[in-house]
Amino acid sequence: MTDTAAAGTILRLEKIVKTFPGVRALDGVDFELRRGEVHALMGENGAGKSTLMKVLAGMYQPDGGRIHIDGLRCVLPTPIAAKEQGVILVHQELSLAEEMTVAENIFLGELPRSRFGFVDWKVLNRRVGDILETLNVDFGPRTKVNRLSIAKKQMVEIARALTHDAKVVVFDEPTASLTDAEKTVLFDIIGDLQERGVGIVYISHRMEEIFRISDRISILRDGSYRGTLVTAETDEDEVTRAMIGRSLDLSRTSDARVAPGEVRLAVRDLSCGKLFRDVSFELRAGEVLGFYGLIGAGRTEIAETLFGLRRPSAGTVHLDGEAVRIGSPAEAIARGLSLVPESRKEQGLVLGMNCRDNITLPQIDRMTSGPFISGAREVEIYDKYQARLEIKAPSWRTMVKNLSGGNQQKIVIGKWLSMAPRVLIVDEPTRGIDVGSKSEIHNLIRELAASGLAVIVISSEMPEVLRVSDRIAAMHEGRLVTVFERDVVTEDDLIQAISGIGEHAA
Amino acid sequence: MTKSGPLGWLIRNPIWVFVAIIFVFFSLSTDRFFDIANFRNILVQTSTIGLIALGMTLVMINGNIDLSVGATLALAASVTVDAMGWAVFADWGNWQILPAVLLRLLTGVAIGALNGFIVWKTGVDAFIVTLGAMLGIRGLVFVYTQEQSFFATNFTYSDFDYSSVLGVPTLAIVFLVFTVATHILLSRTVHGSNTYAVGDNREAAVNAGIRVGPHMVVNFVIVGFFAALAGITLSTQMGAATPNLGREFELWVITAVVLGGTKLTGGAGSIIGTFGGVLAIGMLRNGMNLIGVPAFYVLLVLGTILIFVLFLDKQLNRQGDEEIRL
């Protein structure tokens, strides 16, 4: 910023303290944001980033500290008060009313009114139409949100930032489910906001994005402020060290590769309606097959079909050479197939149950003595996987919702390992998990393969598939384009394959 | 998947298919059904649960429920009939109806406000709060009336349900006017939009700055108002207020609303659907009565239809083969 007037501080948080029962979530955090700046906020999960932003957005009341916007001290008792001060938060988790239209969602809580409290639909649809145009999306104001893909819903969420004359816009993990094309649009919008002198707070786990768009990086660890770095003068390693307090070992340490064994799973011409068509691949014991593609390419749906959640419209599946027709998850489990689902909180865990009960959930009918559940046998299983996966939980009695994302994911993996599977499918193993736990999960997947398990890893993150896979299946719009060998594939090959560029040549 | 045109409309409101079927069926089975006088009858008979169902639709789209409407109706009716006998109003002539009716509506509004306020401030589920209110208010009715029925001595009041404007019964007009008004409230106003938003995703509504608590109180007040108003039909028809007035009405009302496509989980529903649900119940009761079917068979048929309509709704509005199976 050359313009000195625009380079001033627009937002200053001083010594913000927020405590929840038993936890000091924010311990005197400082944060300063300038006009026209993209300021990245980084930290592991649980470091307090989202809490800090909720304080800023008027959703939480701080127990101590001061908020200054434009040099004036502010109290933000409600989300509306924050909006009126020009602070807009774009939520990480979709905060949309599914049955309502795009327009109603974008202006939720502040629909334009004509007289007598009637909604002014004309003004609403016109303003939303304008916003959607700048976002370059293919849906209109009247589309119902439940008809949109996750990525498009995310764009609706982002559109909310453009309804106000914002001074500060906070993006909390905005790209978690966006495709590359939509990311480009988002970064353009951020650029526009910057030029208008808006201060941007950008929260993300993705280093490449942080280094691409941010000006400065502030770091939180365990609820306290760990300093601010100028992006141009630092590197990933320094940021990581500040975040986790140590350097990250990114080499494939436990890369105990074994020669692939016999074919465990053979899939021929599998199709399911319009979701995916003619998918064929083989998976051998001791091997990790990565599935890479954009959101909606059909990867998760393949996993769900193999697991008996969806009925294939065509094709065959062979398990250990035997043709099988899996009609339900129960059958899949009986045949040695396990699925660690995409969203662990919704699909993988019973959050209000303790660690032990979550791990033994699929086999609870076997854990009985007489008519009663045998707690001792359950604890035995929990202890075994707690040790093997290094799950960090105070005890088996801890409710799963109180664990960190990484440990929650280990509980889900432990649950399926305890079923002694021969084929393990892991969908987005590290979504929303911080850097430190990520590499632990990656090592774990390699170890499991080395122990003779056949593993499928579905991921939207290129570094992840490259790191854990032996072979990588690239998918584009419901078709399996190519299966690449890990050792020869380049990032370019993958990007071309998943965006459908090399499809005809391959 | 969203179809427009009449077919799409029917897929979204399957209850109207049933309304048509029931209508044709009874028109063919008895010549007393297809008759203007009988249609008037149906509208008068359904206006009671119909009025409450309007308010209940709002509360249920909010993701709440109000089980206390039957008891509220009884208390309000008792207050009215009692108040008309008060010495203060003795020489007001027919004007004594006015303060009595105002008192009644005030009772309904107050109970609604109290229900809503408790749900808002305690965060206790509306089902539990209004279950408590249902029991408590019914008890209050018995205390208040000392288990006696109050008889209206004012004949203008007790003849009210025979009155009509331009040949249409006044009660039917009241019901139809409020149906249209509530439809407009729900589909055109900011309050209506917020009603859907709060029921659809309460957290999103809070995040968006909607004051969810006060908003829900307003809808509880509306249903309380309608419950009190609905008591007019009942107590004028009987010329009395009995302590047991409006028993099980909450079940009829909820049945009508659910038949009309409002989701128990909130976020979806419409007054058009509720109106269909109310008519379906009204025509069934009336028609089966006309062809001489004992009243308890009505319950059997209604229960079957309730499950069938919801099954149909699920079938028509599912996502096709690609849906995940349970």
pLDDT tens for chain A, 506 residues: list them: 334 344 588 899 999 998 876 667 888 899 999 999 999 998 876 678 888 988 998 888 899 889 999 888 888 888 888 888 889 888 876 788 888 999 999 998 888 888 888 888 889 999 999 989 888 788 889 999 888 877 788 888 888 888 878 889 999 888 777 777 778 888 888 888 888 889 999 988 778 888 989 999 999 887 888 889 898 888 888 888 887 766 555 544 445 566 778 899 999 999 988 889 999 999 999 999 999 987 778 898 999 999 988 888 899 999 998 999 888 888 898 899 999 888 787 778 888 888 888 888 888 888 777 788 888 888 888 898 888 888 888 888 888 888 877 888 888 888 888 888 899 999 988 877 777 778 888 888 998 898 889 999 998 877 888 889 999 999 988 889 889 988 888 877 887 788 776 544 43
Domain end point (choices A244, A265, A285): A244
CA A482/CA A480 separation, integer angstroms: 6
Same domain, A313 and A194: no
Would you state the pLDDT for residue B66? 93
DSSP classification of residue A25: E
Same domain, A166 and A78: yes
* A and B: number of Cβ contacts within 8 A: 89
How many alpha carbons lie under 13 Å from residue A78 in its C-beta half-sphere?
11
In a domain, A142, yes or no: yes
- Helix H or strand E encompassing A48: none
Same domain, A225 and A285: no
In a domain, A157, yes or no: yes
Would you state the pLDDT for residue A408? 87
Would you state the pLDDT for residue B311? 82
- Helix H or strand E encompassing A327: none
Number of structural domains found in chain A: 2
Average pLDDT, chain A: 84
Check A100 against B190: CB less than 8 A apart.
Answer: no
The CATH fold assigned to B31-313 is ABC transporter involved in vitamin B12 uptake, BtuC (1.10.3470)
CATH code for the domain in which residue A473 is found = 3.40.50.300
Token digits of residue A478 = 């419901």
Same domain, A91 and A181: yes
Same domain, A182 and A261: no
In a domain, A355, yes or no: no
With an 8 Å Cβ cutoff, is A263 touching chain B?
no
Same domain, A331 and A193: no
Distances (CA, A) of A22 to A43, A352, A405: 21, 18, 19
Same domain, A259 and A114: no
Closest A-chain CA to B206:
A79
In a domain, A240, yes or no: yes
Write down the domain spans for chain B. 31-313
| SS3 label, residue A177 | coil
Domain end point (choices A191, A212, A244): A244
Same domain, A296 and A312: yes
Compute how many other C-beta atoms are within 10 angstroms of the C-beta atom of residue A156: 25
Same domain, A226 and A257: no
Token digits of residue A223 = 């609820």
Kindly report, residue by residue over B162-194, the tens digit of the pLDDT: 677 777 788 888 899 999 999 999 988 999 999
With an 8 Å Cβ cutoff, is A99 touching chain B?
yes
CA A114/CA B155 separation, integer angstroms: 45
CA B43/CA B33 separation, integer angstroms: 13
Check A95 against B322: CB less than 8 A apart.
Answer: no
Same domain, A239 and A305: no
Same domain, A48 and A129: yes
With an 8 Å Cβ cutoff, is A96 touching chain B?
yes
Residues with Cβ within 8 Å of A133's Cβ and at least 6 positions away in sequence, in order, are none
Q: What angle do CA A481, A484, A489 make, to 5 degrees?
A: 120
Closest B-chain CA to A90:
B207
Query: Across residues B94-109, what is the average pLDDT?
Result: 83
Radius of gyration of chain A (CA): 24
Q: Would you say A329 and A337 are in contact if contact means Cβ atoms under 8 Å apart?
A: no
Would you state the pLDDT for residue B279? 93
Q: Which residues of A touch B208 (CB under 8 A)?
A: 79, 95, 108-110
With an 8 Å Cβ cutoff, is B191 touching chain A?
yes
Would you state the pLDDT for residue B73? 92
Would you state the pLDDT for residue A305? 92
Closest CB from A95, A275, A304 relative to B204: A95
SS (H, E, C) A248-269: CCCCCCCCCCCCCCCEEEEEEE
Would you state the pLDDT for residue A45? 66
Domain holding A170, by residue range, is: 5-244
In a domain, A494, yes or no: yes
Check A91 against B196: CB less than 8 A apart.
Answer: no
Would you state the pLDDT for residue A247? 57
Chain A: give the shortest CA distance to residue B42, in Å: 33
Closest A-chain CA to B321:
A273
Would you state the pLDDT for residue A2? 37
Q: Would you say A97 and B201 are in contact if contact means Cβ atoms under 8 Å apart?
A: yes
With an 8 Å Cβ cutoff, is A123 touching chain B?
no
Closest CB from B189, B208, B321 relative to A118: B189
Kindly report, residue by residue over B46-79, the tens digit of the pLDDT: 888 999 999 999 999 999 999 999 999 999 888 8
In a domain, A54, yes or no: yes
Residues 274-313 of A with CB under 8 A from B: 274-275, 301, 304, 309-311, 313
DSSP of A189-224, one letter per residue?
HHHHHHHTT-EEEEE-S-HHHHHHH-SEEEEEETTE
Closest B-chain CA to A142:
B2
Q: Which residues of B touch A304 (CB under 8 A)?
A: 324
Q: Which residues of A touch B320 (CB under 8 A)?
A: 273
Q: Would you say A355 and A361 are in contact if contact means Cβ atoms under 8 Å apart?
A: no
Q: From the candidates B12, B322, B326, which should be mutated to test the interface with A, based on the most A CB atoms within 10 A?
A: B322
**What does residue B145 show for φ and ψ, rounded to 5 degrees?**
-90, -5
Kindly report, residue by residue over A338-394, the tens digit of the pLDDT: 998 887 877 788 888 888 888 888 888 887 777 888 888 888 888 988 888 888 888
Q: Which residues of B touch A311 (CB under 8 A)?
A: 321, 325
Token digits of residue A278 = 């003619």
Q: Would you say B271 and B182 are in contact if contact means Cβ atoms under 8 Å apart?
A: yes
Domain end point (choices A244, A260, A292): A244
Tell me the pTM.
Answer: 0.74
Token digits of residue A164 = 């106000």
With an 8 Å Cβ cutoff, is B324 touching chain A?
yes
Task: Classify residue A195 by burial, with Cβ atoms within 10 Å: 0-12, 13-18, 19+.
Answer: exposed
Q: Which residues of B touch A98 (CB under 8 A)?
A: 200-201, 267
Average pLDDT, chain B: 85
Same domain, A78 and A222: yes
